[in-house]
Amino acid sequence: SSFLHTLWSFNLYAEHPAVYGGPSGSYFGYSVDFYQASTDSNTISVLVGAPKANTSQPGIVEAGAVYYCPWSGPPDSCRQIPFDNSNNRMMKVNGTREPVEFKSHQWFGASVRTHKGKVVACAPLYHWRTVKLSADKEPVGTCYVAVQNFSAYAEYSPCRTNDPDPEGQGFCQAGFSVDFTKEGRLVVGGPGSFYWQGQVMTAGIAEILNGYSLKAMLRQVPGEKHTRAAEDTHDDSYLGYSVAVGEFTGDSEQELIAGVPRGAQNFGYVAMINSTNLTFIQNFTGEQMASYFGYAVAVTDLNGDGTDDVLVGAPLYMEREMESKPREVGRVYLYLQMAPLTFSKPVALTGTHTFGRFGTAIAPLGDVNQDGYNGMLRVKECREWK
């Protein structure tokens, strides 16, 4: 089976769309972003994640890949970007060489994001062999950054640390979500840290690239910041399931927005986080238990007033026309910023198809029709299609 995705927005050049294809079964199109090599370049291309794609990495099965698709080229014009060509790194254990990492089925390309020529792509199911003697494999996740038109690469794995196991960062799945600040600083979500409390981390691209070595499995990036473990009442919350960036306090510093879809007694919430010290500022809370409020988040100035607004997806929201027969349709909430740290009551946009999972993904488009207002693109449906 495959998946049918219906996009809810107004159409541009609907008569002649650019169509790209990837390998069968690779989940080509799982993630996507536009790419511009430099700000003075008129060439726009599309980056497409295929987290189950096979690569040329020796001995690795379905490592996942990101494809570069020129705009607008033929369907077969996409090519794999060589973020990582190596096999599993090895180490000596009791006199024998054993892999220290496990790249097969790591879902590289599950997330991809660009910013002014910088690109990051992540593999949230990347495993490594912990520092303990017991040879546990833990899904810490990892990301790769590329700069200078894909001529320089470096790995960033903020949860591959000396803090393993579920109570630490062992099940972090870093790169489950990812974004950039306007200055180009990387923001990474790891929803599995600290007994699945979740975690948000930030680091500068220059610091990730400077001094990078393939041999350095454990590396603390200078200037890296990350949220820490909270009380155990926050276990199983999934902070960092989604991340976005915007300005909400009236100063020059942007704030981080992070989805926490199982927090607040499973009502879900979205946390606003200070980007300087990663302290929590305020929350937006879901209205229905188990709706997965915070599954997706996006930030854009939707009403053209010069301030950022927040959109939150709750794809498992149930509409209760009759109490005995609730319909799972999904819902998106729009919070308009009225003043610093002051928002309107949420405007709710509800899906129409049962099991459509409206709000699975939300992305700002910018002012695509030149009417002075930014648009947005939402995945309205993500249902199985036989």
In order along its 386 residues, the chain shows pLDDT tens digits of: 333 344 444 455 566 788 899 999 999 999 999 999 876 667 889 999 999 999 999 999 999 999 999 987 888 899 999 999 999 999 887 788 889 999 999 999 999 999 999 999 999 999 999 877 666 899 999 999 999 999 999 999 999 999 999 999 999 999 999 999 999 999 999 999 999 999 999 999 999 999 999 888 999 999 999 999 999 999 999 999 999 999 999 998 999 999 999 999 999 999 999 999 999 999 999 999 999 999 999 999 999 999 999 999 999 999 986 667 889 999 999 999 999 999 999 999 999 999 999 999 998 875 444 444 445 544 444 554 33
* Domain-located, residue 163: yes
Q: What integer pLDDT is reported at residue 368 of this predicted model?
A: 45
Question: In DSSP terms, which residues pair with 120 in a beta bridge?
Answer: 113, 145
Instruction: Report the candidate in 54, 135, 144 with the shortest Cα–Cα distance to residue 92.
Output: 135
Token pair recorded at residue 38: 């430099």
* Domain-located, residue 302: yes
Q: Please compute, for residue 190, the number of CA atoms within 13 A of its CA located in the half-sphere on the CB side.
A: 33
* Domain-located, residue 385: no
Amino acid at 369: N
Q: Total domain count for the chain? A: 1
* Domain-located, residue 20: no
Amino acid at 170: G
* Domain-located, residue 17: no
* Domain-located, residue 218: yes
Q: Is the dihedral of CA 368, 372, 374, 375 positive or negative?
A: negative
* Domain-located, residue 317: yes
CATH number at residue 244: 2.130.10.130
* Domain-located, residue 5: no
327: containing domain: 31-380
Q: What integer pLDDT is reported at residue 14 of this predicted model?
A: 63
pTM: 0.90
Token pair recorded at residue 142: 């990892």
Whether residue 72 is preceded by a cis peptide bond, meaning omega within 30 degrees of 0, is yes
